[in-house]
Amino acid sequence: MKQITTISEMRAEAEKLRISGKTIGFVPTMGALHEGHLHLIRASVSENDITVCSIFVNPTQFNNAEDFRLYPRIEEQDALMLEAANCDILFMPSAAEMYPATARVHFNFGELETVMEGAHRPGHFNGVALIVSKLFHIVQPHRAYFGQKDLQQYAIIRQMVTDLNFNLEVVRYPIVREEDGLAMSSRNRRLTAEQREIAPQLHHALVLAKNMLPNYSLLQIKNAVADYLNDYPEIRLEYFEIVDSVSLQPINEPEGPQEVALCLAAFLGEIRLIDNIVTVV
């Protein structure tokens, strides 16, 4: 596996691959890799000639300076995992390389970013779009792979690709879960043993909501989720929403077949976790 740290070298490598007719699959990450990331890598390896993974803890998408400081950084271990998964190129630039000066471009995604994560983390998706657009220009992929756990991020990036005519396919991959249902996340590493025992209740609450969908009103479902999680004082629910899976806007009572997403965010201590289930009602 080739490791690259500069934009110029990564861009030259990508141009050489494209000229030779190779297809490039790309998995952008912030490191602290887990099996969910490796599923994306394997999907890319199976569908492209060359797979590139980036590791960059992007400062512009963090609202909380402490969260940025504490975000897990285990680059050597990550590199070993990527090599074992047959990743071809690891692009791991520094912050100075990616942001040689303060960025002044600002993205506005309208209704897509005013709900859920966008409502609770103002400016977050501007930072996401900024770094992902930079990476797309540098890596020049044919396909880019994102996990469904960050459903709103996927929707934002898909919209950006459409609006700015990026010549690539954005692929959404299903959530990868632990055996007890907890969605895999780099932040899971920061959970205490006690918090890790409780964390699967977030998924259980979503399953409860999904099972209620055909027979109960949306208000009844929301109240049931809140009541369920109230039994776990260690969990502080930030939001639970039932939204259209594409527009991410809150739905009224469904009147026919419609794909919806049940999404939540919650804190266990200082650790913020998100999860979702996409289903048809």
* Domain match, 16 and 136 both: yes
Q: Where are the alpha helices (DSSP H) in 99-251?
A: 116-120, 124-139, 151-163, 193-198, 201-212, 218-230
pLDDT tens digit sequence for 36-75: 999 999 999 999 999 999 999 999 998 888 888 988 899 9
Q: What's residue 172's pLDDT?
A: 97
* Domain match, 156 and 214 both: no
Q: Is 209 annotated as a binding residue?
A: no
Mean pLDDT of the chain: 95
Q: Is 159 annotated as a binding residue?
A: no
Residues 6 or more apart whose Cβ sits within 8 Å of residue 48 = 23, 24, 25, 142, 143
Q: Is 142 annotated as a binding residue?
A: no
Over range 130-135, report the average pLDDT.
98
* Domain match, 86 and 19 both: yes
Q: What global pTM score does this model have?
A: 0.94
- Which CATH number goes with the domain that contains 268? 3.30.1300.10
Q: What's residue 68's pLDDT?
A: 87
Q: Pick the last residue of a domain from 140, 173, 206.
A: 173
- Residue 130: is its pLDDT beyond 80? yes
Domain of 28, in residue numbers = 2-173
* Residue 263 domain flag: yes
* Domain match, 158 and 232 both: no
pLDDT tens digit sequence for 84-98: 999 999 999 999 999
Over range 105-133, report the average pLDDT.
94
Q: Which residue type, as a one-letter code, is found at position 158?
A: R
The closest alpha carbon to 249, from 155, 176, 180, belongs to 155
Structure-token match 């009844």, residue found: 220
Positions annotated as catalytic residues are 37
Q: Is 33 annotated as a binding residue?
A: yes
The closest alpha carbon to 273, from 144, 111, 117, belongs to 117
Q: What's residue 63's pLDDT?
A: 81
pLDDT tens digit sequence for 231-279: 999 999 999 999 999 999 999 876 678 899 999 999 999 999 999 999 9
pLDDT tens digit sequence for 101-112: 999 999 999 999
Q: Is 34 annotated as a binding residue?
A: yes
pLDDT tens digit sequence for 162-195: 999 999 999 999 999 999 999 999 999 999 999 9
Q: Is 31 annotated as a binding residue?
A: yes
The closest alpha carbon to 258, from 213, 207, 221, belongs to 213
